[in-house]
Amino acid sequence: MTGKTLGIDLGTTNSCMAVAEGILPTVIPNREGGRTTPSIVAFKVDGTTVVGLPAKRQAILNPTDTIFSVKRLMGRKYDDPDVKSLMHLLPYTIGKDTANGDARVRIKERLLSPPEVSAMILRKLKDDAENYLGSEVDKAIVTVPAYFNDSQRQATKDAGTIAGLDVIRIINEPTAAALASGLGGKQDMRIAVYDLGGGTFDVSILEIARGIFEVKSTSGNTYLGGDDFDARIVAFLMEEFKKREGIDLRENPKAMQRLKEAAETAKIELSTANEVAIALPFVYEDKSMELPLTRAQFENMVKDLVEKTEIPCKKALESAKMTARDVDAVVLVGGMTRMPRVVEKVKEIFLRQPYARVNPDEVVASGAALQGSIMGGDIAEVLLLDVTPLSLGVRTVGDGFKVIIEKNTTIPIRKSEIFTTAENNQTFVNISIFQGEEEKASQNHPLGEFQLIGIKPMDAGKPRIDVTFEINADGILNVTAKDKDSGQVQSIVIKPSTGLDREQVKRMSREVQAPKPAAEPEQGAVGVAPSEPPNTGELEIAAPLPAPAPPPAEDFSDSGSSTNLPPLT
Ligand SMILES: Nc1ncnc2c1ncn2[C@@H]1O[C@H](COP(=O)(O)OP(=O)(O)OP(=O)(O)O)[C@@H](O)[C@H]1O
Ligand SMILES: [Mg+2]
């Protein structure tokens, strides 16, 4: 085995890295001496790129070219409603990849993909770790929120590859936290992980039995975190300034950056102090502002945000078929769990005092490093099982959604369902893959599609098309389709509906690893269309609505004996 495996918590706001020696994880400080690194990349006027604290420090002077919270854009489409609402909040510009509609970040005349920006953060972590350890680091375990879908996981893996890291496993943040908490080592137990970070909220219920960690359920909100708490203080400061000076600071990026920083500082101080004084000297021309903010005032501003964490907790308990009383311990993760009101809320939900012996900022990276030890064979007795956070399935005739893998299924998993045609002599079907819980396919998140061609012509409902979903240990999905009757080997073209193609990843990888001035336009950043398969989509067959699909089989084997097969389009 060459080199160490780096455990990386690639956070929305802060990232953290650790390595483990057997069962002992150690957080690696970055070059600036910090145990966490702001997940911020700045493209400076002189053409240089800076990452982490230096990027955070210059943010005020360079608001439009300082990229923060890029994790929120990972694996997302430009037209995603969440991305649309983000656009108004971010001081930098979000662009659209004309080839696949992905969200991108506009830096001067370049359009960078979110994985490329994340790769710059990962690259800094890798470099700093190598500098600290005095040896090369080429493998990593990277964590993602439990609720990340397939595109977001793939984008995270791409970021690692671009940074020159072999991402040997992607694990869920709450799972990593549970692993590092040390709970369950001596006795079997059920734990809840409550993670309120900068951008996301996750809750997971895990069961640890004889050293086996099993995630029973996960829930969360990908758009709830510390940034939202900051935004409430920012809004309050803006309103105050308008009242006092009659000036709207919204259009002034520099002032807005200052407000955001002051808001975050005040919020953090209010976790220990009962009152803070917010001072904004010369926030607008010669105008300054100074005002006090009490903890009670702040708690009032964010009451609904704190409340919003309750429903996912209830849902996670319900999916795990548990009540709060069944949970033996609650682990708090994420900087926001230092806020006293949040701790109170957790107590209300889970009816117990949270487990205090973990550092909420470091526990996820530590768990990732431990996973590295497990995979390196240094820890034998722990086995980590994960679950798929959302249901996965295919579109059937009439925009139906046939789930193949139910949400909260333990991965890795391989599961097949048999489908059929809706028309006589149909020779091809569309396999459109979606992720989500809605009944209509179109209301779920599209993951990709391909066609299975060369089906043996038969009456409608006769062909038996085996669709297999396979999720590997990283939570990444592979789909294959096979016509059982033709006996012919079919070749399938998977047309990714999102994300970077392999060539793009390779090219970006060369660029990040041999950094060049940011101002240089990236060749082919936009308009690079992946090669299209022959467009037979127009031939899509309009078929009458089929009889309702049978309920999904509970076992993971073929359900090929069914006579009422759901037809594909
Ligand atoms: N003492 C504190 N009191 C309140 N909030 C805090 C404190 N320390 C940090 N925070 C907040 O915690 C958030 C960052 O948390 P953390 O570093 O765990 O998030 P992250 O891992 O980057 O985000 P995510 O998990 O959503 O990807 C920020 O909003 C920060 O302001
Ligand atoms: Mg986090």
Strand blocks (E) in 436-563: 445-453, 465-471, 477-483, 495-496
Ligand closest to CA 229: 1
Give the span between the Cα atoms of 20 and 24, in whole angstroms.
5
Per-residue pLDDT reduced to its tens digit, 482-500: 888 886 556 454 433 456 6
Atom of ligand 1 nearest to the CA of 173: 25
pLDDT the model gives residue 517 = 45
Nearest atom, ligand 1, residue 271 CA: 3
Minimum-distance ligand 1 atom for the alpha carbon of 270: 3
| pLDDT greater than 70 at residue 110 | yes
Q: Which residues contact 84 (CB under 8 A, 6 or more apart)?
A: none
Residue 57 has pLDDT above 50, yes or no: yes
Residue 285's pLDDT is what? 92
Res. 553: pLDDT tops 60 = no
Q: Among positive and negative, which fits the CA dihedral 73, 75, 80, 81?
A: negative
State the Cα–Cα distance between residues 110 and 185, nearest whole angstrom: 50
Ligand 1: which residue has its CA nearest to atom 10?
335
The pLDDT value recorded for residue 564 is 72
- Find the range with the poorest average confidence among 267-281, 425-439, 466-480: 466-480
Q: Which of 265-269, 423-427, 555-559 has the highest mean pLDDT?
A: 265-269
Which of the four pLDDT bands, split at 50, 70 and 90, describes residue 383? low
Phi, psi (degrees; rounded to nearest 5) at 216 = -80, -35
Q: Where are the alpha helices (DSSP H) in 277-393?
A: 295-301, 303-307, 310-319, 340-350, 363-375
pLDDT-wise least confident of 300-304, 328-332, 557-561: 557-561
Half-sphere exposure of 213 (CA within 13 A, CB side): 30
Which of residues 539 and 149 earns the better pLDDT score? 149
Does ligand 1 lie within 6 Å of residue 389's CB atom?
Answer: no
Rounded distance from Cα 361 to ligand 1 centre (Å): 8
- Residue closest by Cα to atom 1 of ligand 1: 268
Q: How many CA atoms lie within 13 A of 536 on its CB side?
A: 17
Our CA dihedral for 196, 220, 218, 354, rounded to 10 degrees, sits at 30
**Which ligand gives the minimal distance to the CA of 220?**
1
Which residues are marked as active site?
A: 9, 71, 173, 195
Ligand 2 centroid–CA 246 distance in Å is 38
Of the given ranges (12-16, 287-291, 460-464, 517-521), which has the lowest mean pLDDT? Answer: 517-521
Q: What one-letter code names the amino acid at 554?
A: E
11 in contact with ligand 1, CB cutoff 6 A: yes
What interhelical angle do 114-133 and 150-162 show, nearest 10?
A: 50
Rounded to the nearest angstrom, the distance between the alpha carbon of 375 and the centre of ligand 2 is 22
Read off the pLDDT of residues 222-257 as tens digits, 9 standing for 90 and up: 789 998 999 999 999 999 999 999 999 988 878 988
CA distance 227 to 70: 13
CA dist., res. 413 & res. 424, Å (int) = 34
> How much is the average pLDDT of 492-518?
61
Say which amino acid occupies 171.
Answer: I
Report whether residue 448 contacts ligand 1, using a CB cutoff of 6 Å: no
Confidence of residue 185 (pLDDT cuts 50, 70, 90): confident
Of residues 330 and 99, the one with the higher pLDDT is 330
Spell out the residues 6+ positions from residue 490 whose beta carbon is closer than 8 angstroms to its own: 452, 453, 454, 481, 482, 483
Residues with Cβ within 8 Å of 528's Cβ and at least 6 positions away in sequence, in order, are 99, 504
Whole-prediction pTM value? 0.73
Residue ranges and CATH numbers for the domains of the chain are: 4-223+309-386 (3.30.420.40), 226-304 (3.90.640.10), 392-499 (2.60.34.10)
Query: Which tokens hold the place of 19?
Result: 């390595």
- Pocket of ligand 1 contains residue 336 by CB under 6 Å: yes
pLDDT > 80? residue 560: no
pLDDT score of 431 more than 60? yes
Among the listed residues 415, 388, 468, the one whose alpha carbon sits nearest the alpha carbon of residue 146: 388
Rg (CA), the chain: 25
Is the per-residue pLDDT at 528 higher than 60?
no
Query: What one-letter code names the amino acid at 398?
Result: G
Tokens encoding 169: 């496993």
Beta bridge partners, 194, equal 203, 332
Over the chain, what is the mean pLDDT?
84
Span 326-351, mean pLDDT? Answer: 96
Maximum mean pLDDT: which of 1-5, 63-67, 294-298: 294-298
Pairwise CA distance, residues 140 & 409, whole Å = 25
Cis bond upstream, residue 412 (ω within 30): yes
Q: Please tell me the predicted confidence (pLDDT) of residue 557.
A: 30
Of ligand 1's listed atoms, the one at least distance from the Cα of 9 is 21
Q: 225 in ligand 1 pocket by Cβ < 6 Å?
A: yes
Specify the residue with its C-alpha closest to ligand 1, atom 21. Answer: 11
d(CA 161, ligand 1 centre) in Å: 26
Q: Report the separation in Å between the CA atom of 9 and the middle of ligand 1, taken as the mean of its atom positions.
A: 12
Segment 436-474, tens digit of pLDDT: 888 999 888 887 788 888 888 999 989 989 999 888 777
Instruction: At 410, list the tokens.
Output: 């333990």
Q: Which two tokens stand for residue 284?
A: 């607008």
Do 512 and 37 contact (CB within 8 A), yes or no?
Answer: no
Distance CA 220, CA 408 (A): 13
Q: Which of 178, 199, 203 is nearest to 39 (CA)?
A: 199
Q: Is 14 in the pocket of ligand 1 (CB under 6 A)?
A: yes
More confident residue, 102 or 543: 102
* Residue 357 tokens, joined: 């012996």
